Structures are given as structure tokens and as C-alpha cells.
A and B are shown apart, each in its own frame.
Chain A
């Protein structure tokens, strides 16, 4: 039993090395995960910043918008996961893995851990860009740690969901399109403007969708705004999405 556990770990690490090698050699995907949020950050800070800043009732707009854009970068990372998994599934290599005596969970574990690492690196770059544009946080070390922990948890949840999307997608193109609504979900939340300012139906959606409590928790940690129950909802959403993505991906992978 312990031999099979150590094989599960070493096989997963082998798969992880493979995925990281892909990412290093073909950084285009990581690059796009960083570029899109940075472009949006530039746009919202320099082009719309004054108007939107006035709209949210004063204060520095970059401070308001950064947590939401950081989350958007996390969703962009999940697109890369879905594509990576799907490319493997549509090529013969996965059938080779399946006919070898390797831990069955290693393939998915390698993809998910690799994607989480890639997306975390992307987020660090996006946060760096925000600082360069004037973002200033009130957070101390504890708040930063909590914020990083939350972000990693969010990335893990999104990555498992995307792994499932990558497994069921017929082509890499559809794998790259399917998570796109996820990327736009933060827009219909509290990422850009407070939901209070939205029409009723949209506001109702914005208040109850998963990204709003996550953004509010992140904003609270980084900017010192009140968090309230958002932290618990954020953790509940992340736990739920992780479990859903994990069991869904596993069952799809074992079935195919």
C-alpha cells in the first residue's frame, strides 16, 4: 500500500514536471494569462479611472479595482488549464498513460498542480503591475498571507472545474471558449463597480454569485474594508467548487 502511495506521488511529480516543461517552453499561454488582466487594469485605471473613481464615491480607483482584476487573472489561468488538458486528451499520449501501470490520479494531479503554480506566478505579475500603477495596500503580513491563501484556494477551485471542462471538450478550441463566461463573471460582481449601482436583477445576481464574496474578502484583506460574512461564503464557494471540479473530472477521466 505504501509503495502504491509513493508511486502515486512520484507519478504525479513526473506529470507535474512534464506540464511545467510545457509551460516554460511555450510561455504564450502564461503570457496571455498575465497580459489580459494587465491590459484591463491599464484601461480601467488610466482611461476610465477618473469617472469610475468618482462613481464609487471617491478614493483611489486603482485600489478598488485591483482585487477584482487579480481574480480575473485567476479565471484567465483556468482557460489555460482547460486547453492543456484537452490537448492531451485529443492526442494519443493519454492512451499511452492509461496502458501503463501508473497511478490513475497522476495525470490530473500533474495538470492541476502545474496550472495552479503557473496561475500563481501570473497573479504575482499582475499584482506587481498594479503596484506599479499606484495600487497601495493597507494589509500587514497576516492579511497578505490570508489573501494569498484565499487566492490559491480560488485558483485550485477554478483549475479543477477547468480540468473537467478540458476533459469533456471535444476540441482545444471549445476547451478555450467554454471557461470564457467565468472570465466575465467578475464584471457582473463587485469587481469594477459596487453591485448597489446596478439594475435590480443584475444586482441580485451580482450579490449571490461566487466572485462577489471572494472579491469582497480580498478587498477587505488588502484595503481594510469591512468583510462581514463574505469570508465564510468565499470559503464555502471555493470548497464546493473544488470538490465539484475534483469529483467531476475524476469520474469523466475514469469513464473515458
Chain B
């Protein structure tokens, strides 16, 4: 089953095009990450798919409802936690959750039950009766997500859910997000500018740049887009470096950093072959590291200044 599908979404503000035709197909029960630098159009995509703003062109269905013709159907099925916390600062955490229960037209008892449950799950029980204005950024974000969950949404949009959080709160958020998918089978549409976050959480990742999706796939698939890994060998002086560089065909030497990059994977055989070659030629290496491509390489390559669409 498909939870979110979009074809040719476009959006401009004045003569500035923010989205240049976005196509998406996200299966139900999966975590999808939209990865991109600031200004790529991530938030705009979320705003359109969550009925907050209309698209200029294209069609989309969320949870089986047309975005325009059945907007209320979409709204009933989704939950949105935006980049800027959408909590009522003048109310307590508990009151915020009960407000959501009322607006979801839950019965009083059911609303109380869910509020209590969420407070416990998100470790907010102790702070339940305190005004939200006194909360830390991490607590606020947790409450924000808890409010989103009161309505038991099928599809959850998380717009940069950990931006501005300290590493510890970020880990907590990740645990919560993983738990949602595991326990409740919801579909999560996540935007992030952190590669690690996408790598950690998402089943599929799309890289958004300049209003276009420039690559899409699993983390592994994306990593395969960039050229393979390398073995980096460090030398004490230019003499050793020069001698070593003569041994390998495709190696690139950096005379200033005194290091040699040899293309190759991280298998023992490859590493041993390099060491043997150095040993046979009596070249003395100081240290050796094996580097595999990570999403950073993918990201930098795809969102570089060239703007070439790699697909």
C-alpha cells in the first residue's frame, strides 16, 4: 500500500521557484527521509503534503486522500511536527495534550488515557503540570511529537525533528521515532539536513537540491553512487612518498600532507597487497587508514555547485 504519492509538485514564491517538479512514492509503514541543504525546499514539500499550503502544480495523495479535494480526510490521517515547536507555551504539558484530545473529538476519558500514556512514554510525567514555557528544547520537542500522536495518525511528518537539539536529546528522539514504526506501523516522512539521521532512521532517502530530487534509494544504494573506498597511507617525508607513489598505478599523492590515496575496498586481501608492495620495495609507511564512502560523500557530490542532476 502506498501512503504518500506525489507527481510533479511545483511551488514558486514570486519568481523564485522552490519546487521544480517533485515525484514521490512512499510505501505505508516505512520511514522516508528527504535530505537536503537549507533552502532546498524540504519544508515547502512538507507544508504542501500536510495541506498547510497549496502546490502550484502537480497532484498528490496522502493516506488515500487527494490533497486538494479531500483535505479534511488527509488532515484526519496525518500528524505534523514542524521545525518550530507547535506547542502552547502558556499551558502545561498535560493541558496541551488534552487540548489535542478535544480537537481530535475524543471522549473525555479516552483523551485523559492517551494523554497520560503519552506523558509516560515520553518521560514527561514529572513535568506534566508545569507550564511549557519552562521546558528545555528537548522536552519541548518531545511534547510536540506527543501532541502529534494524540490523534493516532497513520502518516507522520517530521520536519527537521532534531535540528537544534543536543546530541543526547537527538538520540532520544531517534529512539522514539524507531519505536513509532516498530510498534504502530505508521509511515514517517522525515526531513533532515543530517546525513547520519537519514542513515540511522530511513528505509529510503531522497536527496533534494534546488527544488529537485537529485537521487533516491536506500542508504546503501546511495553510497554506491560515489566511487568506491580508498586506502590512505601516511609517510614521514617526500622521499618515501615518492617511492610509494611509483608502486601504484591509480594512486594520488598529496605532497603537502605527505599521504597517498590508493583506490580500493576495505577487504583484508587488498590491504595486505598494499602493505606487501610497500614492504617489498622497502618503503616505510607511518600509518594506514581504510576509508569507505559515507553519505557525506554522496551528499557533497550530489548537492555540489555544478547542479548536475544525477539519478
Report which of B72, B80, B90, B102 forms a contact with A14, defined as CB distance below 8 A. Answer: B102
Interface residues of A (CB under 8 A from B): 7, 10-11, 14, 17-18, 21-22, 25-26, 91-93, 95-102
13 intermolecular pairs with C-beta atoms under 8 Å apart: A14-B99, A17-B102, A18-B88, A21-B90, A21-B95, A91-B89, A92-B82, A95-B52, A95-B80, A96-B147, A96-B148, A99-B78, A100-B151
B88–A93 touching, CB < 8 Å = yes
Report which of B80, B90, B147 forms a contact with A25, defined as CB distance below 8 A. Answer: B90
A81 to chain B: closest CB distance in Å?
Answer: 16
**Smallest CB-CB A-B distances: 9 pairs:** A92-B86, A96-B86, A101-B75, A14-B102, A92-B84, A101-B76, A99-B80, A99-B50, A101-B72
User: Which chain B residues numbered 75 to 110 have a C-beta less than 8 Å away from chain A?
Assistant: 75-76, 78, 80, 82, 84-91, 95, 99, 102-105
Judged by a CB distance under 8 angstroms, whether B125 is at the interface is no
User: Which chain B residues numbered 149 to 196 have a C-beta less than 8 Å away from chain A?
Assistant: 151
Considering only CB atoms, which chain A residue lies closest to B104 in the complex?
A100
Chain A residue numbers with a CB within 8 Å of B151 are: 100
B89–A7 touching, CB < 8 Å = no
Considering only CB atoms, which chain B residue lies closest to A4 in the complex?
B72
Report the interface size for chain B: residues with CB under 8 A from the other chain: 28
B103–A14 touching, CB < 8 Å = yes
Judged by a CB distance under 8 angstroms, whether B5 is at the interface is no
Task: Among A17, A25, A98, find the residue whose CB has the most chain B CB atoms closer than 10 A.
Answer: A98
B281 to chain A: closest CB distance in Å?
Answer: 64
Considering only CB atoms, which chain B residue lies closest to A25 in the complex?
B90
Judged by a CB distance under 8 angstroms, whether B51 is at the interface is yes
Considering only CB atoms, which chain A residue lies closest to B88 in the complex?
A93
**B299-311 vs A, Cβ < 8 Å mask (1 yes, 0 no):** 0000000000000
B102–A92 touching, CB < 8 Å = no
Chain A residue numbers with a CB within 8 Å of B105 are: 7, 10
Considering only CB atoms, which chain B residue lies closest to A6 in the complex?
B105
A39 and B115 CA atoms in complex are apart in Å by: 45
Chain B residue numbers with a CB within 8 Å of A11 are: 103
Considering only CB atoms, which chain A residue lies closest to B73 in the complex?
A101
Chain A residue numbers with a CB within 8 Å of B90 are: 21-22, 25-26
A102 and B73 CA atoms in complex are apart in Å by: 11
19 more contacts with CB within 8 A, not counting A7-B105, A17-B102, A98-B51, are: A10-B105, A11-B103, A14-B102, A18-B91, A21-B91, A22-B91, A91-B86, A92-B84, A93-B86, A95-B52, A96-B86, A96-B148, A97-B103, A99-B52, A99-B75, A99-B78, A100-B104, A101-B72, A102-B103
User: Which chain B residues numbered 22 to 50 have a C-beta less than 8 Å away from chain A?
Assistant: 50
B158 to chain A: closest CB distance in Å?
Answer: 13
Considering only CB atoms, which chain A residue lies closest to B80 in the complex?
A99
A86 to chain B: closest CB distance in Å?
Answer: 14
A23 to chain B: closest CB distance in Å?
Answer: 10
A92 and B160 CA atoms in complex are apart in Å by: 14
Chain A residue numbers with a CB within 8 Å of B84 are: 91-92
A26 and B131 CA atoms in complex are apart in Å by: 12
Chain B residue numbers with a CB within 8 Å of A100 are: 75, 103-104, 151
Chain B residue numbers with a CB within 8 Å of A98 are: 51-52
Considering only CB atoms, which chain A residue lies closest to B87 in the complex?
A93
Considering only CB atoms, which chain A residue lies closest to B131 in the complex?
A25
A48 to chain B: closest CB distance in Å?
Answer: 39
Considering only CB atoms, which chain B residue lies closest to A256 in the complex?
B53
B163 to chain A: closest CB distance in Å?
Answer: 13
A107 to chain B: closest CB distance in Å?
Answer: 10
A61 to chain B: closest CB distance in Å?
Answer: 41
